[in-house]
Amino acid sequence: MRDFDLGKLCVVGGLLLLACSDNGSVGAVPDTGIGTNQPDATIEVDSAPEPSTPLAKVWGATALEDMNPDAKIVEVNLAAANYDWDFEGHTVKMFAYNGQLPGPLLQANVGDKIIVHFTNNLEEPTTIHWHGMRIDNEMDGNPRVQDPVQPGETFTYTFDAVEAGSFWYHPHVNSHEQVDRGLQGSIVIHESQPPAYDTERFLIFDDILIDPATGILPGFLKSHGEEMHGRFGNRLLSNGLSSDKLAATAQKGEVERWRIVNTANARTMTFKLDGATFRVIGSDGGLLPQPYTTNYLQVAIGQRYDIEVSYDKAGTVKLLNLIPTATNDGKVKLVEYSALKVEVADSTNEPREVQLPVVAELPAREIDQTVDVELSGQTDAQGHIAWTINGKVNAEEFLFTFKKGSTIKMRLKNLAGPEHPFHLHGQFFTIVDQKTMETSQPGLKDTVLVPGMSTVEIIAFMDNPGRWMAHCHILEHAALGMMSELVVEE
Ligand code: C2O
Ligand code: CU
């Protein structure tokens, strides 16, 4: 049991969760208006399945229609466009994939080929990044590799589903606005022998900053607080609904798989489950060799978790999002917001044990090289913040060049107060466990949270050749310079 203490969280007011200190090279945050701020060489891969068992139905998202009769090829159409979103009695100007917010589910079996015919019906350029999938470099949506898709134009993304797991997709151009306005969708790559759960659910957790009187989203990157901490929402969203509206039903004795992703621009989320038991069975890189239990599940932006939920009694089960909130006496208390509610009907059944596929132990690889990645920031004379990686704002030159197959220890050093969810494209890594909520996260990862004024170490497996983005997934930080690329040479 991982037993964490949430005593140290802090806040700056309203529905907001912020890192504690603002020391370091960037100044303090003023309050700003509405909602404010605030095994040996390679990783083993699940082998390809026989053709073609129907894919498990995933609750919570509409699956894209596979137009290709070949059992090993998934071929879909996806279009991004402006979208009028009906929210709290307002028509909110958003963007959507295929008119759905969040976007539709892309699913395939591990080993399948995926073809996505993408059309950009937005009034601005965009790309799609398949977050967490280790695919070919040209298909990764990096706007420095792929010319962004211009308004009215199309692009065909073709890639292989190399690993089974839970992933997500989103744009990589003007991301802090495009993702915030709704361009985000779920990806499930099913195992060749998927465990037989009663129900599989995909849960996309987000937040949005909205003027409750008008339904207008405030201008992007217009406040110091947003530059400092990223854009914190004043409304929590679950699968595109106000989070307290997402509800489901089940029966006592059933066992489910929930796939969770945090797609917020800036908010780390911490969950607990009331009324049922759960354990963690998967992370960014798919199912874990050893499932584990934990009292709190911290999900940094971009990270995924697969949890197994067992209904051992009837009643209301709630997944609660714990939001640190300032009280009048200057203290911080955790306010619980429902992220998903399940009404569990009574039955005589007890939860059964669901057989999980055997997952290879994580690779124990010798470290070839250790590098430092310094996450910091600077403020100009007007008080605007630029965020840096190894001293560079939006570095043009490559951060590092590694050989394919090398194992790199990266010391991620956060030299300032705000936290940074660091994301590496195209590769997996493991986190060196320091017995903290941010680091006691087993399994293959592509995103790790580096708290303010601290160092987190990861062991990255540079197995996928190409030039890969390495950046902060607080999308405002990335927009303000915390963006770099590294190269993995053949
Ligand atoms: Cu999910 Cu480069 O991002
Ligand atoms: Cu950051």
Which atom of ligand 1 approaches the CA of 142 most closely?
A: 2
Assigned domain for 49 exists = no
Are 382 and 457 part of one and the same domain? yes
Q: Which ligand is in closest contact with the Cα of 418?
A: 2
Which residue range is the domain that position 177 belongs to? 58-190
Query: What is residue 86's predicted lDDT score, i.e. its pLDDT?
Result: 96
Query: What is residue 25's predicted lDDT score, i.e. its pLDDT?
Result: 31
Are 152 and 178 part of one and the same domain? yes
Tell me how far the alpha carbon of residue 169 lies from the centroid of ligand 1, in angstroms: 8
Assigned domain for 11 exists = no
Q: Whose CA is nearest to atom 1 of ligand 1?
A: 131
Which atom of ligand 1 approaches the CA of 425 most closely?
A: 2
Query: What is residue 359's predicted lDDT score, i.e. its pLDDT?
Result: 94
Are 71 and 176 part of one and the same domain? yes
The CA-atom distances, in angstroms, between 107 and each of 75, 139, 361, 459 are 10, 17, 25, 29
Tell me how far the alpha carbon of residue 304 lies from the centroid of ligand 1, in angstroms: 13
User: Quick check: 385 and 379 in contact, CB under 8 A?
Assistant: yes
Beta strands in 331-439 (DSSP E): 332-345, 369-379, 385-389, 401-403, 406-414, 420-424, 428-431
- Tell me how crowded residue 59 is: count the other CB atoms within 10 A of its CB: 14
Assigned domain for 356 exists = no
Residue 358 tokens read as 């055997």
Which atom of ligand 1 approaches the CA of 141 most closely?
A: 2
Are 338 and 203 part of one and the same domain? yes
Which atom of ligand 1 approaches the CA of 478 most closely?
A: 2
Tens digit of each residue's pLDDT (9 = 90 or more) over 73-109: 999 999 999 999 999 999 999 999 999 999 999 999 9
Q: Whose CA is nearest to atom 3 of ligand 1?
A: 131
Kindly tell me if the per-residue pLDDT of 191 is higher than 50.
Answer: yes
Query: What is residue 155's predicted lDDT score, i.e. its pLDDT?
Result: 98
Tell me how far the alpha carbon of residue 258 lies from the centroid of ligand 2, in angstroms: 27
Alpha-carbon distance 257 to 77, whole Å? 27
CB-based contacts of 374: which residues, under 8 Å, 6+ apart? Answer: 388, 389, 390, 391, 413, 415
Percent of residues, the chain, with pLDDT higher than 70: 90
Tell me how far the alpha carbon of residue 135 lies from the centroid of ligand 2, in angstroms: 25
Tell me how far the alpha carbon of residue 141 lies from the centroid of ligand 1, in angstroms: 9
Alpha-carbon distance 328 to 337, whole Å? 19
- Look at residues 125, 158, 190 and tell me which one is the last residue of a structural domain: 190
User: Quick check: 466 and 137 in contact, CB under 8 A?
Assistant: yes
Are 322 and 411 part of one and the same domain? no
Alpha-carbon distance 25 to 44, whole Å? 42
The whole-chain average pLDDT of the chain stands at 91
Assigned domain for 389 exists = yes
Query: What is residue 477's predicted lDDT score, i.e. its pLDDT?
Result: 98
Element (H, E) at 235: strand 235-238
Residue whose pair of structure tokens reads 């079996």 in the numeric block:
109
User: Quick check: 95 and 82 in contact, CB under 8 A?
Assistant: yes
Query: What is residue 55's predicted lDDT score, i.e. its pLDDT?
Result: 80
- Look at residues 144, 167, 190 and tell me which one is the last residue of a structural domain: 190
- Tell me how crowded residue 78 is: count the other CB atoms within 10 A of its CB: 19
Alpha-carbon distance 116 to 232, whole Å? 32
Q: Which ligand is in closest contact with the Cα of 451?
A: 2
Are 243 and 270 part of one and the same domain? yes
Assigned domain for 39 exists = no
Query: What is residue 26's predicted lDDT score, i.e. its pLDDT?
Result: 35
Kindly tell me if the per-residue pLDDT of 23 is higher than 70.
Answer: no
Are 448 and 340 part of one and the same domain? no
CATH number of domain containing 169: 2.60.40.420
Assigned domain for 396 exists = yes
Q: Which ligand is in closest contact with the Cα of 130?
A: 1
Kindly tell me if the per-residue pLDDT of 41 is higher than 80.
Answer: no
* No. of helices (H) and no. of strands (E), the chain: 3, 31
Q: Which ligand is in closest contact with the Cα of 302?
A: 1
| Residue 281 exposed, middle or buried by CB count within 10 Å (0-12, 13-18, 19+) | buried
Tell me how far the alpha carbon of residue 23 lies from the centroid of ligand 2, in angstroms: 15
What average pLDDT does the segment 334-343 reach? 97
Query: What is residue 21's predicted lDDT score, i.e. its pLDDT?
Result: 37
Query: What is residue 17's predicted lDDT score, i.e. its pLDDT?
Result: 37
Are 377 and 304 part of one and the same domain? no
Which atom of ligand 1 approaches the CA of 168 most closely?
A: 1
Report the pocket of ligand 1 as residue ranges, CB < 6 Å: 129, 131, 170, 172, 302, 423, 425, 469, 471, 473
Assigned domain for 384 exists = yes
User: Quick check: 361 and 289 in contact, CB under 8 A?
Assistant: yes
Query: What is residue 20's predicted lDDT score, i.e. its pLDDT?
Result: 38
Number of domains in the chain: 3
Kindly tell me if the per-residue pLDDT of 16 is higher than 90.
Answer: no
Assigned domain for 157 exists = yes
Tens digit of each residue's pLDDT (9 = 90 or more) over 220-262: 999 999 999 999 999 999 999 999 999 999 999 999 999 999 9
- Look at residues 190, 222, 239 and tell me which one is the last residue of a structural domain: 190
Kindly tell me if the per-residue pLDDT of 362 is higher than 90.
Answer: no
Q: Which ligand is in closest contact with the Cα of 169?
A: 1
What would the 3-class secondary structure string for 300-341 be?
CCCCEEEEEEECCCCEEEEEEEEEEEECCCCCEEEEEEEEEE
Are 155 and 62 part of one and the same domain? yes
- Whether the full predicted model's pTM is greater than 0.75, yes or no, is yes
Tell me how far the alpha carbon of residue 429 lies from the centroid of ligand 1, in angstroms: 15
Are 71 and 138 part of one and the same domain? yes
Alpha-carbon distance 251 to 347, whole Å? 7
Between 93-97, 274-278, 358-362, the lowest mean confidence (pLDDT) is in 358-362
Are 129 and 152 part of one and the same domain? yes
Tell me how far the alpha carbon of residue 250 lies from the centroid of ligand 2, in angstroms: 39
Are 186 and 282 part of one and the same domain? no
